Structure formats: C-alpha cells, structure tokens
Amino acid sequence: MIVSNNTLLNILLLNDNKVLKEVLKEADSKSLEQMMKNNSTSINDVLKELFDSLKNGTKSNTAIENILKNSTVFKEMGSVSNTLSTLVENISQDENLQKFKPLIESFLKNIKEMDANTLKEQINKSGVFLESKMAQISNTKIENILSQIQNQIKDITTAQAKQVNELINKLIQNPSSPESANNLKSLTSALQNLSNSLGTSQTQNLSTLTNQLKSMINEGSLIESKVENGTVNLNNSAKEIITSQTKELLNQIKNELIQNPVLQNKNIMPLIDNLLKMDNLFLKGENVQNLLTQNNISTFTNNFASNLNPLLNSLKESLENINPNNANLQNHILKLVDKVENLIKDLANPKANISDDMKSVLLQMQDELASKGDVKSLDISKQIDKLLAQIDYHQLASLATNANNVYLPFFWEMLEDGNITMKQTEEDKFYCQINLTLKDFGKVDLMLALYDKNKLDLTIYAQREHFKTALRDNMQKLKIALNSVELIPVNIKLLDLKEESQLKEEPTKIYMNNSYNQTTINSSIDIRV
C-alpha cells in the first residue's frame, strides 16, 4: 500500500486563513459558525487549524475541547455509519472504485453481528489510530523504549544490568538488523532476570506466593459473580475445592513467613489463622461492610475477595518495606518487559492492520479521484472529505482530552449518534465513557471503570423513564453477558441524565474523581508520523 506523505500529513499542515486564525484565537463558537455560513471555510480547514494550534501550543487543550464540544459546526457533522452507507451506494456505480467497496462495506457491520473481538477489530481499523500504527512500526518507538529501559537501570551495576545494556547497545547500533527480533526476545529474558535479581532470597518465594494469591482472588471472585447471576451452577463440592486450594496456598505463605520472621508484620499471621479457621471462604466475614448506595442496582457482594484482600494488602506492604526502592524498580522493569513484547509483535507483522484501516482506504480513494472532474466523482470526493473530517475530529478530540475518542464503528438503526472515550490511569485502572443518542430512548451515557483486570463498575446516566424501566427489568441479562466475557459487575448504578446545559463538568471526570480520586491520565493515541 502506498499512501502519499502529503496526504497523510494533511491534518498537520499550516493554514494561511488569517480570518479563521483570528476567530479561533477568541474561541468563540458563534463567530465560528457565522464565519462558516458566510465564507468558503470548511470543517476540514477548522480542524487543520486546531491541530496546528494544539501542536504549537497557541491554544490550550481545554479551549480546543470546548470548541469541539460546544460548536454546532461539529455537532451537525452526522454519523459515520450513515455517511459510509451513502458512500457505498455511490461507489457501486463507479467501476474504478469497485475495488474499495468490500473494504468500505466491512466498516458497516451490523450491531447484531458484533462481539468483543469484532468490536476490538473495528475500533482498531476505525482510522483514528492510523498515524499511531504507522509510528509504531518506525525505529522511533524502539529507540524510545530502549531509552526508558536505560534510564531505569542506569544506577544498577550488577551482571544482569550489564547484560541488558549490551543488548540495548546492539539494538541501537543496528535497529534494522534481521537479528533485531531475536535481540528483543533476549532483552525480555534479561530484563526478567534483572527484576528477579533485585529481590532478596527471602522475598522471592513470598513474592511468587503473593502473586498466586492475587490470581486466586480474581478467580474466586469471578466464580462468585457467575453463581450469583445464575451463569453457572456451582455446587458445594466445587466451592470446597476452591476453598481447599486457597487454604493450601495460605499454609504455604504461613510456612514461608515462619522461616523468615523478618517478613512478618503484626497483622499477617492473625489474618492467615482466621482465614484457615473459616469453613467457607465464600461466606461474608464479620468485618465486611455493605457499600450499596440508594442508586446502586447491583446486588453483588464480593465476599471471597473481601475476606482475602486484607491479607493480600498486608503481604504487599511487608514486601515493599523490606526493600522499597527495589520493589518499585521491579514494577517498572516488568512494565517495560510488556512494552518490549509488544515491539516483537509489531516487528513480526509491521504492516498489519494498515492496508485495511478506514482512513488509509479513504486516502487511497481520494488519490484515485484527484484527477477526475465529473459531477459523480466530485460528489463522492465530498463524501470522502466528510468522512476524513469525522475521523480527524475524533483524533483531535483524543489529543485534546488526552484519551482515545472513537466513533461507534458499526451500523445500528436505532443509533442516531455515538462515540466512545477510553482512558487509562497509571495505577492500571481503565475508564470508558460511551455516549449514545438513541431513537427510542434518547440520550444514554455509560461510565465504566475496569480495575484488578476483571472487576467492573458501571454507572448509567439515562434520560427517559421507559429506558430505565427496561434496564431494571433486564439487569440479570446484563450481568450474565458481562460474566460471559469474564468480567465481574461489582457496582452498577442508574442515574438521571441532566439537561446538557446543567452538565457543566464532563461526566467522566466527575465519575473518576468521585470513584477513585485519580486525575493522572495516559493516552495511547499518537497522530505523529
């Protein structure tokens, strides 16, 4: 696939529209709307100028976010799926564009055909991440990660650290070498060895057992959720097996602590002894509090986790106290191992998911029509421009909000408008906001928080009463559906969606601050090439 650099980078080019610059400088939505009515300025021009403002720092992220969200110019862009449907109809009548038809149609998958894997694939091919994917297959990404590793281990003088540095130097000297993939594999092993070497002989076994306990808690909690929702029929025998496995692990932890008293704190041994005395770890412990609120319509009480988490937290605290600096360094190194493993995947198939990317296909169609001046071609070009503008909008929104902002990449007759925004905190908590406008149910906003790998908190803001009633009536089906993809619905809340004028603060920010008091966000979108 060949994509013109000039075309690909069009969102980053400077504009010479001085009037537009002045209007955007004031961040006046009404002035912008009036200008576009009385002028030849297009949405594409506005987006280009905003990208430039963001890149040069002439406008703050907040100011750009406000323009994107408050201006009717962008609210009236329409839905991507409707624009795509029109495009498919038009290219069906053009022989030169027939080769693009199957690719465009693939972006119109019906919601009835949607599952978790298909949705993931559609989001990945949405066009919003094209430049990011192209950046990932460049040497720049490799160099950045290698620099991060060197910075983390610069003060370590062990043999393991020396081996890591030698491998990094090889990769830096010959980044395009056929041996790069093998060197990266060797680097992951060397980093893991380095991480292990930072722990003392006393802490290595306990650290392993602690991780096993965490996995056991997740497994037990998921089973507990499935039983409660009727997804599986867990009999007493099966419960006894899980309890037995957990107690066996607890005894191993206890023996490890007896042999190494320095690892103990005053809380650990009593916690273990109390847990070993319990006949059934799935029963509610004495000190477990019910945190259900008035608006909480879920019933899940995570007894298994509630009983075991105090021990898990005490073990983590004890390990960190032994050598706090190394414990923190180990966590950073293990995260870097994940990054290197992802690099290996990128190198194995560097152009994967680029040729069938939505924006890539549209840019190719744009180049195909560049030399044609007939009415039909001009009409199709306008539709392509509109789609590219819709994608650019979501890219800009992603950068301005430091998140991943994507349109809903499927066809749904009930859907009038919708988008998905995803964020990740440094503490490995993930947040997702889904904003929908539905024909029969009005506006619906869903705020999701994923933590501990499979635990989910869901808050639903709904506008119309009959939708709330339908949701309550089908709550069990929702929980079972979440269980089917290995998720535990811990908390589900249903709240009234206020009028737009009353929502002065972004619902996601409210949700995050109230639930977890976390404000530091990392973004995974990158539009740079």
Model confidence pLDDT, tens digit, residues 478-491: 999 899 889 999 99
Alpha-carbon Rg of the chain, whole angstroms? Answer: 27
Residue 65 has pLDDT above 60, yes or no: yes
* pLDDT band with cut points at 50, 70 and 90 for residue 446: very high
3-state secondary structure (DSSP) of residue 450: strand
Q: What is the pLDDT, as a whole number, of residue 493?
A: 92
Q: How far is CA 144 from its chain centroid?
A: 21
Give me the residue spans of the domains in the chain: 1-137+355-403, 138-199+328-348, 201-322, 414-529
* Highest-confidence segment of 66-70, 131-135, 340-344, 450-454: 450-454
Among the residue ranges 259-263, 372-376, 482-486, the one predicted with the least confidence is 259-263
Chain-wide mean pLDDT for the chain? 78
Nearest alpha-carbon partner for 332 in 135, 145, 490: 145
| Residue 7: CB atoms within 10 Å | 14
Give the residue with greater pLDDT, 16 vs 133: 133
Give the residue with greater pLDDT, 274 vs 373: 274
CB 50, CB 434: distance < 8 Å: no
Q: How far is CA 14 from its chain centroid?
A: 31
Query: Which residues share a beta bridge with 437?
Result: 417, 443
* pLDDT band with cut points at 50, 70 and 90 for residue 293: very low
Q: What is the pLDDT, as a whole number, of residue 292?
A: 37
CA distance 233 to 345: 39
Q: What are the respective helix, strand and coil percentages of the chain, to the nearest 5?
A: 60, 10, 30
* pLDDT band with cut points at 50, 70 and 90 for residue 243: confident
- Separation of first and last alpha carbons in the chain: 16
Q: What is the pLDDT, as a whole number, of residue 96?
A: 81
CA distance 131 to 7: 12
Give the residue with greater pLDDT, 176 vs 501: 176
Query: Which residues share a beta bridge with 74?
Result: none
CA distance 515 to 155: 38
Q: What is the pLDDT, as a whole number, of residue 449?
A: 94
Residue 364, Cβ density class (10 Å: 0-12 exposed, 13-18 middle, ≥19 buried)? buried
CA distance 147 to 214: 32
Among the residue ranges 15-29, 141-155, 286-300, 398-412, the one predicted with the least confidence is 286-300
* Highest-confidence segment of 199-203, 454-458, 518-522: 454-458
Residues with Cβ < 8 Å from 286, sequence gap 6 or more?
A: none
Question: Which DSSP category does 521 fall into?
Answer: E
Q: What is the pLDDT, as a whole number, of residue 519?
A: 31
Query: Which residues share a beta bridge with 407?
Result: 419
* pLDDT band with cut points at 50, 70 and 90 for residue 92: confident
| CA geometry: angle 283, 287, 291, nearest 5 deg | 85
CATH class of the region 414-529: alpha beta
CA distance 152 to 335: 11
Q: What is the pLDDT, as a whole number, of residue 426?
A: 63
CA distance 143 to 198: 25
CA distance 49 to 69: 16
Q: What is the pLDDT, as a whole number, of residue 434?
A: 94
CA distance 317 to 210: 11
In this structure, are strands 442-451 and 430-438 parallel, antiparallel, or unpaired?
Answer: antiparallel
The runs of H, that is alpha helices, within 485-528 are 507-516
CA distance 484 to 398: 30
Among the residue ranges 243-247, 306-310, 471-475, 498-502, the one predicted with the least confidence is 498-502
Residue 245 has pLDDT above 60, yes or no: yes
Average pLDDT over residues 127-145: 75
* pLDDT band with cut points at 50, 70 and 90 for residue 495: very high
CA distance 477 to 8: 44
* pLDDT band with cut points at 50, 70 and 90 for residue 528: very low
3-state secondary structure (DSSP) of residue 433: strand
* pLDDT band with cut points at 50, 70 and 90 for residue 343: confident
CA distance 282 to 302: 8
Average pLDDT over residues 232-250: 78
Q: How many percent of the chain have pLDDT more than 90?
A: 21
Q: What is the pLDDT, as a whole number, of residue 213?
A: 92
| CA geometry: angle 141, 146, 152, nearest 5 deg | 130
Helix H or strand E segment including 493: strand 488-496
Q: What is the pLDDT, as a whole number, of residue 522?
A: 34
The total number of residues shown for the chain amounts to: 529
477: left (phi over 0), alpha (psi -120 to 50) or beta: alpha
* pLDDT band with cut points at 50, 70 and 90 for residue 7: very low
Among the residue ranges 95-99, 184-188, 286-290, the one predicted with the least confidence is 286-290
Residue 181 has pLDDT above 70, yes or no: yes
Q: What is the pLDDT, as a whole number, of residue 31?
A: 65
Say which residue the tokens 């539905």 belong to: 438
CA distance 266 to 192: 32
